[in-house]
Amino acid sequence: ESNLGRRKEGGKEEKGVARVGNMSSVGTGYDLSASTFSPDGRVFQINYALKAVENSSTSVALRVKDGVILGAEKLVISKMISPESGRRVHMVDHGIGVAISGFVADARQLVARCQEEAFSYRDIFGSTIPVRVLAQRMANYMQVYTLYSYVRPFGASILIAGVDEENHQPQVFQVEPTGITVGCFGAAIGKGRQSAKTEMEKLDLANLTCEEAVKELAKIIHTIHDDIKDKNFILELGWVSPQSNYKYERVPRELVAQAEKAAKEALGDLSDMEEEDI
């Protein structure tokens, strides 16, 4: 990151920016708490929270013809760590899943809140929470932490994906630390999001089936994975599809294996060779 240089806005320097060697821009004096605006109308703490998400590993969600797919690139820091731990894709309700990027600890709190909201909605109103309602409630929740000096914003973004019970419409929403939620056909968060979005735009999402989309998503994540900077990763996949009876489930292992194999073949992946001495 130290080689990234200063961030510029429309070619001009940001106000209140101090040049400190090669470090990225800082808002001198206006960035110490979330309750302070800068002269150009920013709350820097929120920007910094978004940075935390940008520096973490990627999560992607796709809304396709008959369901939704969630995927995450789970970086393996050490072979000693159990592959099941550090879950990035969670079930929040019977038909809704959530993928996380950013500070995992912050994100876990958000997942727990999603689960509470979904449960309490069902308890009060007797039916499944619509995905758009859950997304808006999470956005409202995250926004609260951008108001005060004695708390900091969440350092995590989430992708909420599910199929609405009322009209069987698949929905994907991205919720950011800013407190904004956006409905998407394809969403990506984390360090590889730009490349992921480029890949997603090539797809005709509205006409893909879930099975096809699993393969596409595996290919996207394998494409954006940075082999040099990050070593191994585990591909976590979840879906809400006709094959899962429109319930949130982890994509079946055979399908994941097939998808990963197809992805590696498509990329001409020779990572098997890494193990050998050259």
Partner 1 sequence: MEMPTEKRYPIVMRDIEEDWRNAEHSMGTSIMAVQFDSGVVVAADSRTSMGAYVSNRVSDKLTPVHERIYCCRSGSAAHTQFVADIVKYYLELHSLELNTLPTVLSAAQLFKTVCYRNKNNLTAGIIVGGWDPVHGGSVYSIPLGGVLVRQPFAIGGSGSTFIYGYCDANYKENMTKEEAVAFCRNALSLAMARDGSSGGVIRTAVITKDGVEREMLPGNELPTFFEQ
Separation CA 142–CA 8 (nearest Å): 27
167 scored as a contact of partner 1 (CB under 8 A): yes
Q: Least separation, in Å, of the C-beta of 124 and partner 1?
A: 7
Q: For 136-154, b where at least 16 C-beta lie within 10 A, e where not — what string?
A: ebbbebbbebbeeeeebbb
Q: Least separation, in Å, of the C-beta of 208 and partner 1?
A: 27
94 scored as a contact of partner 1 (CB under 8 A): no
Q: Which of 23, 125, 182, 257 binds partner 1 (CB under 8 A)?
A: 125
273 scored as a contact of partner 1 (CB under 8 A): no
Q: Is 6 or 132 the residue whose CB approaches partner 1 more closely?
A: 132
Which structure tokens are listed for 66?
């008959």
Q: Which of 130, 153, 179, 186 binds partner 1 (CB under 8 A)?
A: 130
Q: Which of 1, 84, 166, 272 binds partner 1 (CB under 8 A)?
A: 166
Q: Which of 35, 120, 127, 194 binds partner 1 (CB under 8 A)?
A: 127
Q: Is 62 or 160 the residue whose CB approaches partner 1 more closely?
A: 160
Separation CA 264–CA 258 (nearest Å): 10
Q: Least separation, in Å, of the C-beta of 190 and partner 1?
A: 30
Q: Which parts of this chain interact with partner 1 (CB under 8 A)?
A: 124-127, 130, 133, 136, 166-167
